[in-house]
Amino acid sequence: MVKKMSKYVQAYEMNTGKKAPILASNLDELFSKIENDSELPPRGQQAVDAGFTAHTLSDSSENPAIFKYYRWIISNMLDDHPVKELSARLIGTSFTSANVFQTDLPQPVTLNQWQMERIQSIKLMTDKAIILENNGVFIFLHKLHPNWPLINQSGNDFNSANNQIMLELKKENLRMSYLGDIDSSGIQILDHLVNLLDGPDSLLEIQTPEQVLDWLVRFGKKNIQRTKEIQVNNPTLVKEMSSIHTLSKFVEQEQLIDDYETLIEKWLSKK
């Protein structure tokens, strides 16, 4: 049975005179949702759900052909349908979390630099929290599980204010576990955090070497650039870095949402 050509691919080729890029039809489901005014997860999650890397639909250098095709369809076929997506834009000089600090404000809560200077006066509402590397994953998981205690790390670049808060949270005996991209830079970020907090075991309780290897085997994508061996200090993270480099594969957080839901729920429930 001959597969019917995508109406989006057909329109693109007829109007531009160009051949649609390979895997362009992977975006059909996304375009259909936009056309039906459906609510969508963050852009990175949309890209991964369509079989691409997280930055494909927001960074023109990641996959130029697909990016141009995506922008053409959005601008020429779906211009009457504003994209209703969760925003992953969070301020890099602030500290954003959900269900960590006691407050009457709606969650998530973002502390600015002046509030962060008075962090000692803010009480906690949980004894556990998950630190997430990526903005989009943070806000998507909050949408899916509005009562989970989550901390957004992305964009902070471990500036002095952010470091102060992380140290204060540790001082308050908040048990934190970290989840990030399974690539060289992701492991390097985690190594920095482990060093900053003097290596609490809880940080690596979910993202273990065994779990990292499992994810690489099941979801890994080949990329030499993202799997270069970078020096890290923590022995556990040396193993994870070695797996990434040896297999030359990486995994983005957006690929792991289903696994995260099970693993985070189990970790938060554990006494």
User: Tokens 């954003």 belong to which residue?
Assistant: 96
* Nearest partner of 252 among 214, 210, 209, 221, judged by Cα: 221
- pLDDT for the residue numbered 87: 74
pTM of the model: 0.81
Q: How many residues does the chain have?
A: 271
Alpha carbons 63 and 56: distance in angstroms, whole number: 6
Pairing of strands 175-179, 128-132: parallel
* Nearest partner of 141 among 267, 55, 36, judged by Cα: 267
Q: With left for phi above 0 and alpha for psi between -120 and 50, is residue 231 left, alpha or beta?
A: beta
- pLDDT for the residue numbered 263: 98
User: Tokens 């979801």 belong to which residue?
Assistant: 219
Q: Where are the domains of the chain?
A: 7-85, 95-269
Burial class (CB in 10 A: 0-12, 13-18, 19+), 75: exposed
- pLDDT for the residue numbered 115: 73
Alpha carbons 168 and 152: distance in angstroms, whole number: 16
Q: Identify the bridge partners of residue 142 per DSSP, sorted by sequence position.
A: none
- pLDDT for the residue numbered 245: 98
- pLDDT for the residue numbered 3: 62
Spans in the chain with pLDDT lower than 50: 2, 91
pLDDT digits 0-9 by tens, 104-120? 999 999 887 667 667 77
Alpha carbons 153 and 171: distance in angstroms, whole number: 18
For residue 34, how far is the Cα from the chain centroid? 22
Q: Hey, what are 216's tokens?
A: 């690489």
Confirm or reject CATH 3.40.250.10 for domain 95-269, answering yes or no.
Answer: no
- pLDDT for the residue numbered 89: 62
- pLDDT for the residue numbered 110: 86
Q: Hey, what are 135's tokens?
A: 């903005």
